[in-house]
Chains A and B, each alone.
Chain A
Amino acid sequence: MSLDGKLEIIGVTDVGRKRAHNEDSIGSDAGLGLAVLADGMGGYRAGEVASAMAVNMILDDLREGMKHGKTGEVDEETGFCRETLLIKTAIEKANETIYQTAQRQPQCHGMGTTVVALAFYDDRMSIAHVGDSRMYRMRAGELRQVTSDHSLLQELIDRGFYTPEEAKKSLNKNLVTRAMGIEMAVNPDLQEDVVQPGDLYLMCSDGLTDLVEDDVIHETLVEYSENLEDAARHLVDKANAAGGVDNISVILVRALKSFGAKQNWYNKVFDWF
Chain B
Amino acid sequence: MPGSLVLTLNQSVLGEFTLDKERLLIGRKPENDIQVDNLAVSGQHAAIITILNDSFLEDLDSTNGTFVNGKLVKKHALKHGDVITIGKHELKYVNDEATTDDQDFEKTMIIRPGMASHAAAAAKAEETAPPTPAGTSSQMVADDMPLGKIQVLSGPGAGKELELKKALITLGRPGVQVAVITRRPQGYFITHVEGKHPVVNGDTIGAQAHALKDHDVVELAGVKMEFFVST
Report whether chain A binds chain B: yes
A159 to B101, CA, bound (A): 24
Q: Which residue of A lies closest to B140 (CB)?
A: A78
Stretch from B13-21, B81-89, B113-121 at the A interface: B113-121
* A134 part of interface (Cβ distance < 8 Å): no
Are B138 and A148 within 8 A (Cβ)? no
Taking chain A's interface residues, is the majority helix, strand, or loop, or is none over half, making it mixed? loop
Taking the nearest CB of chain B, how far is it from the CB of A24, in angstroms?
11
Closest to B77 in A: A161
Rounded to whole angstroms, the CA-CA distance of A41 and B111 in the bound complex is 12
Q: Bound state CA distance, A188 and B182, in angstroms?
A: 17
Contact pattern, A 120-143, Cβ under 8 Å of B = 1, otherwise 0: 000010000010100001011110
Tally chain B residues at the interface, Cβ within 8 Å.
Answer: 74
The answer to whether the Cβ of B152 comes within 8 Å of any Cβ in the partner chain is yes
Q: Is A155 an interface residue (CB 8 A)?
A: yes
Of the 9-residue stretches A2-10, A175-183, A218-226, A230-238, which lies at the interface with chain B? A175-183
Would you call A216 an interface residue if the criterion is a C-beta within 8 Å of the partner chain's C-beta atoms?
Answer: no
Which of B2-10, B25-33, B156-164 sits within the interface?
B156-164
B124-154: CB near A (< 8 Å → 1, else 0) gives 1100000001111111111000000000100
Of A166, A174, A186, A270, the residue contacting B105 (CB under 8 A) is A174
Q: How far is the CA of A42 from the CA of B107 in the complex (A)?
A: 9
B1 in the interface (beta carbon within 8 A) = no
Question: Cβ of A271 and Cβ of B135 under 8 Å apart?
Answer: no
For residue A112, which residues in chain B have a CB less than 8 angstroms away from its CB? 110
Contact with B along A141-179 (1 / 0, CB 8 A): 110101010101001101111100010001110111111
B72 close to chain A: CB less than 8 A: no
Given contacts A42-B110, A139-B207, A273-B172, contact A196 B156 (CB under 8 A): no
Docked CA distance A24–B142 (Å): 29
18 cross-chain CB contacts under 8 A: A141-B207, A148-B186, A152-B123, A156-B56, A161-B75, A171-B98, A175-B52, A179-B110, A179-B135, A183-B136, A190-B185, A265-B170, A268-B169, A271-B157, A272-B155, A272-B156, A273-B157, A273-B176
